[in-house]
Amino acid sequence: MKRRLPIASLFLLAVACHGLGMHRGEETPAPRDVARSVDDARLRAAGADPTTWITHGGTYAEQRFSPLDQINAGNVSQLGLAWSYATGTARGLEATPLVVDGVIYATGSWSVVFALDARTGNELWRYDPEVPRETGRKACCDVVNRGVALYEGRVYVGTLDGRLLALDAASGKKVWEVQTTDPSRPYTITGAPRVVKGKVLIGNGGAELGVRGYLSAYDAKTGSLIWRFYTVPGDPSQPQESPALERAVPTWKGGEWWKVGGGGTVWDSMAYDPDLDLLYVGTGNGSPWSRVVRSPGGGDNLYLSSILALRPDSGDLVWYYQETPGDTWDFTATQHIVLADLAIGGQTRKVLLHAPKNGFFYVIDRESGKLLSAEKFAPVTWARRVDRKTGRPVEAPGVDYRKRPVVVKPSPYGAHNWQPMSYSPQTGLVYIPAQDIPSAFALDKHFRYRPGTWNTGTDFSVIHGFPRGIATGSLLAWDPVKQRARWRVPYTAPWNGGTLATAGNLVFQGTSDRRFVAYAADSGKKLWQTPVGTAILAPPVSYELDGQQYLTVLAGWGGAFALSGGDAVAALDPRAGGQVLTFKLGGNAEMPMPPPPPGPQPLAALPPAPKDRKLVARGEALFTQNCVVCHGYAAVGGGVLPDLRHATPEVHQSFEAIVLGGARQSQGMPSFAQFLTPEDVEAIHAFVIQRAYDEHAAMAAAEKKAKRR
Ligand code: CA
């Protein structure tokens, strides 16, 4: 009961703030006033004003909890669509929309930014940063963007090609732009910036291809660089950029990681505690993935797969906690960070809650960085447990894939990925979009660094696909104090959406099987759902306008598992097409329903079946090495990018011109001339054709079986 008091007082404050703000029937504020009021004071007090959603996780603590309760467990059955806005995109949408003064700010594929009237969904402005389409090759996990930051009348966005832009919130016109990365390296930005004390914080990604991770702080007014914190050492024969990095150097042994990059990218999560003045960021996996390639002499490889606590004014490291020392499985610690005050062992502790890819749920003292507890929240085979005294995982025997391929759980898709979790101070539970996906790892014994493409030091060709049923997901309600599940809603597929908890005893989540669902936050009982046109990955937000509570969520299928998941994804009957969906009680707008993607070509339209089995096998190996991350394991499309088994005769005729000649570069399909020979492409083409025949054979067998029944 102790926990109730601060929430009740917050809510009273919220009501008071609302009384001073927008009144019923008041017109949408003039665009020039929009978002100007978001300043340091308002960002620090964001939790006191539940009518808005002014920063990525709702507040600096990133709990994604809305104190609004007009929509509640008693009336959520009356929820309906208020309006929808077609983003005009067909790739993944992952953004958290920000909402203030009646305007919604969000981002779509290719880092496009748009502002919408929150009452009607009418577009106020749209800014396209015109990201060159060949940048798509650098993006491990789709051409996505997770949203903007607002501060003193400006909208900040990181673009896929590594720029940070400041836009005028009223007009959408560009105020300044800086390149935050070296364009000659495969850096991308997909994460949302945050603003702390006048500094715009932005990280980057690219560790699958090979980069060195860092976080940058820019002056919000001018765009000048204030500080940069590199997360992994550079060439050890040279001086490092910070004392923290000098301390990290001895934890890297042998190898030439700095030539590939080392990894540790800060590609998503950040949170801020204004009282402690600590900025928390999560760092990514090693680059290359394989630790025997990256650091053959062993070592923890600081600061990979870690939570870092930094001073926002200087970028100085105050403490770190490494979740996966010597990561070798693409176990990022970049998943969503939540700050909360929990009663543990009879005292209130300021903690940081984290459910990273590696499958352990961590409760960390956020003042000291000391581990309080860590337990498995999903099937985990790589480690037996985390030792509470040392804070280190106890690796399981037999997970070293140096000598032979090993199946490991979780997979690089994570027991939990970027889809944000939420925390309800009312129930004390954390709502995690959890998943259970195995993956096989094998060492690439002949690894050589190939700039511009994937450099993991592992051999993907041991993975032949994700058959239906092997990969599942769930909505998991986790008690962080008792470190155990309170309830769980199982899903047939992974890659479901981020969550939102509300004071109406509700948890909202979109699903990969195209639903938007409300559950009772205390029991997990399903209270309401609606079909949606395309799967939802992004987290919903809630706000209030004219005395009415709204929910907004972006719907748009895509991201890593959607692109590569093969049969596991095809079973979802996925649809492409981006929408912003806004719901309210009594809403009765029509849900947009995109058509299914084109199906198989008739047999007669296929090129002749390949006869050379060796050519097909070589094609499969090359396909798995070069193509699966976008076109799916076993060439089974995920509904986002073309399913190559369904390629038209025109595509077959121009296969080499597309793959080597870059004939479809403007559509995001870059040339692979740097990596593949015409003979390689012939083999890949043979494999793709074979897969089209395989699908026809499977359909014929299914038809025969159905007739027998
Ligand atoms: Ca990664």
CA 351–ligand 1 middle distance (angstroms):
26
**Structure token digits, residue 272:** 């801020």
Q: What is the dihedral of CA 96, 101, 103, 105, to 10 degrees?
A: -30
CA–CA gap between residue 561 and residue 435 (Å, rounded): 11
CA–CA gap between residue 550 and residue 540 (Å, rounded): 10
CA 200–ligand 1 middle distance (angstroms):
24
**Structure token digits, residue 513:** 């099987």
- Determine the pLDDT at residue 593: 94
Q: What is the DSSP letter of 149?
A: E
- Residue type at position 556: G
In 10 A of CB 605, how many CB atoms? 13
Domains (ranges, CATH) in the chain? Answer: 65-585 (2.140.10.10), 603-708 (1.10.760.10)
301 Ramachandran zone, left/alpha/beta (phi>0; psi -120 to 50): left
CA 231–ligand 1 middle distance (angstroms):
15
Active site residues: 330
pLDDT at 60 over 70: yes
CA–CA gap between residue 434 and residue 509 (Å, rounded): 12
CA 493–ligand 1 middle distance (angstroms):
21
- Determine the pLDDT at residue 485: 98
pLDDT at 6 over 80: no
* Cβ proximity of 338 and 271 under 8 Å: yes
CA 689–ligand 1 middle distance (angstroms):
31
CA 72–ligand 1 middle distance (angstroms):
38
CA 479–ligand 1 middle distance (angstroms):
28
pLDDT tens, residue by residue, 581-616: 999 999 999 999 998 888 999 999 999 999 999 999
Query: Which residues sit with Cβ closer than 5 angstroms to ligand 1, an ion?
Result: 285, 330
**Structure token digits, residue 391:** 């804070």
- Determine the pLDDT at residue 664: 94
Which SS3 state, helix, strand or coil, does residue 312 take?
A: coil
Residues 511-520, mean pLDDT to the nearest whole number: 98
- Determine the pLDDT at residue 291: 96
CA 466–ligand 1 middle distance (angstroms):
19
CA 519–ligand 1 middle distance (angstroms):
31
CA 20–ligand 1 middle distance (angstroms):
46
CA 288–ligand 1 middle distance (angstroms):
10
CA 682–ligand 1 middle distance (angstroms):
30
CA 399–ligand 1 middle distance (angstroms):
19
Residues 462-467, mean pLDDT to the nearest whole number: 80
Kindly report the backbone phi and psi dihedral angles of residue 504, in degrees, each rounded to the nearest multiple of 5, phi listed first.
-80, 20
pLDDT tens, residue by residue, 132-189: 999 999 999 999 999 999 999 999 999 999 999 999 999 999 999 999 999 999 999 9
Strand partners for 114: 106, 126
H-helix or E-strand spanning residue 163: strand 163-168
pTM for the whole structure: 0.94
Q: Tell me how far CA of residue 92 lies from CA of 88, 105, 407, 512, 559, in angstroms.
A: 12, 17, 28, 12, 6
CA 610–ligand 1 middle distance (angstroms):
35
- Determine the pLDDT at residue 33: 58
- Determine the pLDDT at residue 504: 98
pLDDT at 24 over 70: no
pLDDT at 398 over 90: no
CA 703–ligand 1 middle distance (angstroms):
40
- Determine the pLDDT at residue 9: 35
Strand partners for 459: none
Q: How confident is the model at residue 35 (pLDDT cuts 50, 70, 90)?
A: low
pLDDT at 10 over 50: no
pLDDT at 15 over 80: no
618 Ramachandran zone, left/alpha/beta (phi>0; psi -120 to 50): alpha
CA–CA gap between residue 577 and residue 87 (Å, rounded): 8
- Determine the pLDDT at residue 475: 98
pLDDT tens, residue by residue, 631-654: 999 999 999 999 999 999 999 999
Question: Which residue is associated with the tokens 């509470």?
Answer: 388
pLDDT at 29 over 60: no
How high does pLDDT run on average in the chain? 93
CA 393–ligand 1 middle distance (angstroms):
20
CA 21–ligand 1 middle distance (angstroms):
43
CA 94–ligand 1 middle distance (angstroms):
17
Residues 283-287, mean pLDDT to the nearest whole number: 98
12-26, 277-291, 472-486: segment of lowest average pLDDT: 12-26
